[in-house]
Amino acid sequence: MLSLRLPRVFTINQVPKVFHEDSIISGYRHPRSSATDCILSLFQLTNETLNIWTHFLPTWYFLWKLVSVVLIQTAWQDSFTWPLLTFLLSCCIYPLASSCAHTFSSMSARARHICFFFDYGALSFYSLGSAISYSAYVFPDKWVNGVFHQCYVPIAVFNTVICTSIACYSRFPECQSPKFSKYLRVFAFAYPYLFDNIPLFYRVFLCVGEGCTDNDTNILHYYHIALALLTGFLFATHLPERLAPGSFDYIGHSHQLFHVCGILGTHFQMRAIEQDMVTRRPWLLEHSIPITSSHSVGAALFCVVVNLIIILLYSLPLLSAPACQEKKHDKQPKKTSAKVGRCC
């Protein structure tokens, strides 16, 4: 009978420092896993298993929504739906990139860095997708066609370049200065979100009187904002595992909750964008900036190309650097050692 042997899991003291997660003590995969081992680990409980599945499964939901827009709403024939199409594409890419990064990040220290470079690039693309759809459908009536509205998407494109660069750079000082690295990464994720949501925050929290776009969609925006704030809180604080290290290694740690809240927030964001697109369409077609390929699909394509170049530039030093000083014939990680704890 054919038997399938699942890879072993290890404790934090048995893997190099670059693989360490704050307050996660056990459940680590071998730091030189093969691609086959990484795929097999999807079907065993490690500290990454739920990180992978909580983003891999929603990818198919968002893909179904994307296909629905393309086939049912014939998006290629109606330029008004192009921003929604771009947003839904970004909703498919960022959870897929994240699940792949978590799956294959245990192949080596270099692979880990490069996998998460793609993850960060995908998050920046999602940020731009949000900005493009907000520009088309969500801006409050008062701000439509104003100076900020006209500059909004170009600034969002610039932000994606800066934030992808900062997020990728944050991996290099991670071992020597983990707090500094964490602050950089939080900034790289929080800044584009805050910028993208300036028109939404004004619309739902500050705007008073005529031209404030106070409609039934706002409740969906409230849900999205609340979940986004909770997502950021979980990412920044490492709760609940920081309160009880080792108790949430496999189920319930902050990164899993971060994934779940992020996906739920994206779901409500998608519903709000769709509802604004439908209910505000007649008014927006008459008063708003005309939707062109350069401010929707073109901006998204430019973002993809630039982000891939940034990822390549950050990956080249890793690929050309000397190999880490470790015995490649070792099948199991060593026990605690000061040298093992060094990053490549």
Mean pLDDT along residues 114-134: 98
CA-wise closest residue to 24 among 32, 35, 15? 15
Q: For the residues 288-300, what does the mean pLDDT come to? A: 91
Instruction: Determine the pLDDT at residue 18.
Output: 92
Rounded to 5 degrees, φ, ψ at 44 are -130, 160
Confidence of residue 73 (pLDDT cuts 50, 70, 90): low
pLDDT, one tens digit per residue, over 296-339 is 999 999 999 999 999 999 999 998 876 544 444 344 565 433 33
Q: What percent of the chain has pLDDT over 70?
A: 91
What are the DSSP calls for 119-156, one per residue?
A: HHHHHHHHHHHHHHHIIIIIS-GGGTTSHHHHHHHHHH
Tokens 């192949």 locate to: 107
Name, of 99-108, 168-177, 327-336, the range with top average pLDDT.
99-108
Pairing mode, strands 9-10 and 28-29 = antiparallel
Nearest to 126 by CA among 207, 58, 178, 214: 58
Average pLDDT for residues 53-77, to the nearest whole number?
A: 89
* pLDDT 10s digits, 37-52: 999 999 999 999 999 9
pLDDT classification of 78: cutoffs 50, 70, 90 = confident
At residue 155, the pLDDT reads 97
Contact of 96 with 134, CB cutoff 8 Å: no
Q: What is the pLDDT of residue 72?
A: 76
- What average pLDDT does the chain have? 91
Confidence tier at 214 by pLDDT (50, 70, 90)? confident
Compute the half-sphere exposure of residue 78: CA atoms within 13 Å on the CB side of its CA: 14
Q: Give 198-210 pLDDT, tens digit per residue.
A: 999 999 999 988 8
pLDDT band at residue 187, thresholds of 50, 70 and 90? very high
Q: Summarize pLDDT for 324-333 with one digit per residue, the tens.
A: 444 443 445 6
Lowest mean pLDDT among 68-72, 180-184, 185-189: 68-72
CB 270 within 8 A of CB 65: yes
Q: Which of 248, 251, 254, 204 is nearest to 233 (CA)?
A: 254
Domains of the chain: residue spans and CATH: 47-319 (1.20.1070)
DSSP label at residue 202: I
pLDDT at position 113 over 50: yes
Which residue would you say has higher pLDDT here, 344 or 59? 59
pLDDT average, residue stretch 277-297 = 93
**pLDDT, tens digit, for every residue of 12-23?**
999 999 999 999
In 3D space, the residue among 65, 56, 125 whose CA is nearest the CA of residue 90 turns out to be 125
Q: Which pTM was predicted?
A: 0.92
Q: Is 77 exposed, middle or buried (0-12, 13-18, 19+ CB in 10 A)?
A: exposed
Helices (H) and strands (E) in the chain, counts: 10, 2
What's the mean pLDDT in 77-100? 95
Report d(CA 22, CA 19) in Å as an integer: 10
Q: How many Cβ atoms sit within 10 Å of the Cβ of residue 294?
A: 12
Place of tokens 């995908």: 122
